[in-house]
A and B are shown apart, each in its own frame.
Chain A
Amino acid sequence: MNDAVSVKKVKTRASQRRQEIQFNVISIVFLTIVAVIQLLPFWLKLVDATHSPDFLPEVGKVYIWFEAFTLENFWTVIESARLYLALGVSLAHTCGFTFLSLCVVMVVGYVLAKINFRGKGIVSMLLLTTLMIPGEVLLAANYQITIFFGINSNILGIILPGIVNVFGIFLVKQYMASVPDSVLEAADIDGCGELKKIVTIVVPMSVPIIMTYVIITFIGTWNEYLFPMVLYSTSGSDSLYTLQLAMQSFYPNFGGNADTYVRSAGMILITIPIIIMYLVFQKYILNQSNIAGLK
């Protein structure tokens, strides 16, 4: 009797282990397939970008390894799409927006988290309504407002409209609530002003959330397409010529030349900064427990 039970147990344990291994193998195979599907287009782009301009692809053949290798296309795209200019504009746009919005987000987040003032509830609620309304509804209106301020043909036109980043405010606010009040009170007694408190106490204590915010905002701004496109297509000013718009000009819809090799080279080039960011700051990007808890 006892023996039978133990034999059965051993059997189930063995079969469980087999099941476990089976499960692991199937999952890994599945995940690998998904990962390959995601990587493959970029690999094909890279191969495409290194074909020499007079290379004629055979019909019915997918090139997955370099053939007629050359880096010429990269130089061509840098020249013809004025990528130096676009890189400068993109960097100014991204860094400017990230820095300004970070300042705003820190101050407003701090005030909402740590100062009990009358009207706080109303202010929070009003700000939260922004998250409900898609910014695209306001596209035409925001365009008109930038004209009103005379910044529609200026890099300020793509930086300034969005710097009160409500998502960021509530992200930071939630984190700052965990900064102990006693520290801030101690600073109060020492006669520390509010701005000084933010800079010397709150900022060092919320480095992780600042990093998360900066990285998310940086990548989001780098990839921003709609509003810069609106301003650029209406004003044509060079100071709005971001990398995304430089690439947009290669699409046949927008009168670009149809050389796919050069276009591929450009796409690879504008994706590289994002990939570098990702490799360096992976830890912060993949740790999104802060964001998941927001709503």
Chain B
Amino acid sequence: MQNESIEAQRLAAEGAEVSEELVKVPLAPGSAGKPKKKPFRQRFKKEILAYSLIGIPLVWWCVFFVVALVWAFCTSFTDMRGGYGFDFVNNISFDNYINIFTAGSAQAEAFWNGMKVTVIWTVVMMIGNNFMGILCAFLIKAIKRGGKVFLALLFWPSLVSAVVGADITSTLFQSDNTGVVNQIIIACGGSPVAWFEDPNTAIWALMVIPFFFGFCQKMLIYYSTLVSIPDTYEEAASLETSSRVRIFIRVIFPLMKNALVLNTLLSIIDGFKVLGPMQLVTDGGPANSTQSAMLLIYKSVFNAPARIGQGCAYAFVLFIFILIVSIIQKVIAGKEESNIE
């Protein structure tokens, strides 16, 4: 580097005022002579520059992602019981995975119960949130005045934290007479429902608030897609039919496909990792009816008696599920695209 700069200074002193970069450009091909093999520094100038800038972040990412992934993968084959350590040589076997897929074992029961809860949650949230998101985005775009106000009003609950959301859930659905929903039921002449004591109602009661607070993010994405669609499409379609709903379904909705794909993917990923509401409000009960897969993983890793190996095995099976679902979703989305074109 120093040599180069000295060289450049010398050249500058001699009156060659052009920078090195400009000399390299073959202004008159052939006159500069055949290209010599440049020194390493110059040949890999850009690489050195780039990697010196992103080197530290990349290493950092490797530590907390690649190493973590490898560690979790290796641990899933051990019977590590908790605590801290990198020595996973005790009893390497496929037991953790075999347990998950053996009908009747406690692990299989817990895991598939968790998967059932998670899948119910994910499917309901995905359909409900996307439907509400599209509906509200469409209405906000369609009304003449006040669209922005409604957008702002409807969006803000998605910024509220999971802890506050869970608190609201528990005040609304408290099982004794103090819960707001039960008070309304009593005021209407019904008898109070024990929301969180009944395995059949607990998960549905947990869903209400995340549903109403969760569709806002989706709504915003749909809204920005809707705004980006030129008005001319709608105008052209309005010559054919006066029904706005029909225009929306036939013309506008197909144009929102990208947003739909993105939002379903986000819903799936968010749904599969749900943990907050369950952990805070019901702690997985009653009778494990609200114990999501993620909560099971958390509990098996951090609650006594800790089984880190088993927890990591759960996590990898869950991960493979997410992967399969997203691949299926990608394939379906890709097919539709080719159909349209």
Q: Which of A19, A31, A108, A219 has the most CB of B within 10 A?
A: A31
A178 at the binding interface (Cβ < 8 Å): no
Chain B 265-282 interface 0/1 with A at a Cβ cutoff of 8 Å (1 = within): 100010011011001110
CA distance A38 to B85 in the complex (A): 46
Selected interface stretch from B93-101, B107-115, B310-318:
B310-318
Say which residue of B75, B140, B322 sits within 8 Å of A140 (CB atoms). B75
Selected interface stretch from B33-41, B119-127, B166-174, B199-207:
B166-174
Q: Which of A42, A141, A247 has the most CB of B within 10 A?
A: A141
CA distance A92 to B183 in the complex (A): 41
Chain B's closest residue to A21 (CB) is B144
Contact across chains for B50 and A115 when beta carbons are under 8 A apart: yes
A28 at the binding interface (Cβ < 8 Å): yes
Contact across chains for B224 and A136 when beta carbons are under 8 A apart: no
How many A residues, CB 8 Å from partner? 98
CA distance A59 to B182 in the complex (A): 10
Contact across chains for B143 and A34 when beta carbons are under 8 A apart: no
CB distance from B178 to the nearest CB of A (A): 7
Say which residue of B53, B68, B187, B311 sits within 8 Å of A60 (CB atoms). B187
Contact across chains for A31 and B150 when beta carbons are under 8 A apart: yes
Chain B 56-90 interface 0/1 with A at a Cβ cutoff of 8 Å (1 = within): 01101101110111011001000000001110000
B193 at the binding interface (Cβ < 8 Å): no
Contact across chains for B86 and A144 when beta carbons are under 8 A apart: yes
Contact across chains for A134 and B242 when beta carbons are under 8 A apart: no
Contact across chains for B319 and A137 when beta carbons are under 8 A apart: yes
Contact across chains for A37 and B152 when beta carbons are under 8 A apart: no
Contact across chains for B47 and A137 when beta carbons are under 8 A apart: no
Contact across chains for A289 and B154 when beta carbons are under 8 A apart: no
Chain A 29-63 interface residues, beta-carbon cutoff 8 Å to B? 30-31, 34-35, 37-39, 41-42, 44-45, 48, 57, 59-62
Contact across chains for B162 and A225 when beta carbons are under 8 A apart: yes
Say which residue of A144, A164, A222, A285 sits within 8 Å of B60 (CB atoms). A164
Contact across chains for A130 and B61 when beta carbons are under 8 A apart: yes
Say which residue of B51, B67, B68, B283 sits within 8 Å of A253 (CB atoms). B283
Say which residue of A37, A57, A166, A277 sits within 8 Å of B212 (CB atoms). A37
Secondary structure type dominating chain A contacts: helix
Contact across chains for B139 and A164 when beta carbons are under 8 A apart: no
Say which residue of B47, B167, B187 sits within 8 Å of A263 (CB atoms). B167
Q: Which of A111, A142, A164 has the most CB of B within 10 A?
A: A164
Contact across chains for B53 and A30 when beta carbons are under 8 A apart: no
CB distance from B81 to the nearest CB of A (A): 12
CB distance from A144 to the nearest CB of B (A): 6
CB distance from B124 to the nearest CB of A (A): 17
Chain B 147-160 interface 0/1 with A at a Cβ cutoff of 8 Å (1 = within): 00011111111011
Give chain B residues whose Cβ lies under 8 Å from the Cβ of A263. Answer: 167
A278 at the binding interface (Cβ < 8 Å): yes
Chain A's closest residue to B151 (CB) is A286
Say which residue of A139, A267, A278 sits within 8 Å of B164 (CB atoms). A267
Chain B 174-202 interface 0/1 with A at a Cβ cutoff of 8 Å (1 = within): 00011010011011000000000000000
Give chain A residues whose Cβ lies under 8 Å from the Cβ of B65. Answer: 130, 133, 138, 164
Give chain B residues whose Cβ lies under 8 Å from the Cβ of A142. Answer: 64, 68
Given that A31-B136, A44-B171, A292-B225 are known contacts, is A145 also in contact with B53, CB under 8 Å in the complex? no
Given that A117-B50, A226-B275, A247-B164 are known contacts, is A288 also in contact with B220, CB under 8 Å in the complex? yes
Give chain A residues whose Cβ lies under 8 Å from the Cβ of B49. Answer: 115, 117, 194
CA distance A41 to B179 in the complex (A): 12
B288 at the binding interface (Cβ < 8 Å): no
Chain B's closest residue to A268 (CB) is B164
A196 at the binding interface (Cβ < 8 Å): no
Say which residue of B164, B170, B265 sits within 8 Å of A270 (CB atoms). B164
Contact across chains for B54 and A107 when beta carbons are under 8 A apart: yes
Lowest 7 CB-CB distances: which A-B pairs, in order?
A223-B161, A141-B68, A60-B186, A117-B50, A27-B139, A164-B61, A141-B72
Name A residues whose Cβ lies closer than 8 Å to a Cβ of B.
12, 16, 19, 23-24, 27-28, 30-31, 34-35, 37-39, 41-42, 44-45, 48, 57, 59-62, 104, 107-108, 110-112, 115-120, 123, 127, 130, 132-145, 147-148, 160-164, 166, 188-189, 194-195, 219, 222-223, 225-226, 230, 233-234, 244, 247-248, 250-251, 253, 260, 263-264, 267, 270-271, 274-275, 277-278, 282, 285-289, 291-292, 295
> Could you list 15 examples of A-B contacts with CB < 8 Å?
A24-B144, A42-B168, A57-B178, A116-B46, A123-B54, A133-B319, A134-B273, A136-B273, A137-B319, A138-B65, A141-B67, A244-B161, A253-B281, A267-B163, A285-B155
Name B residues whose Cβ lies closer than 8 Å to a Cβ of A.
19, 21, 44, 46-47, 49-51, 53-54, 57-58, 60-61, 63-65, 67-69, 71-72, 75, 84-86, 132, 136, 139-140, 142-144, 146, 150-157, 159-164, 166-168, 170-172, 177-178, 180, 183-184, 186-187, 209, 212-213, 220-221, 224-225, 227-228, 242, 244, 258-259, 261-262, 265, 269, 272-273, 275-276, 279-281, 283, 294, 297-298, 301-302, 308, 311-312, 315-316, 318-319, 322-323, 326
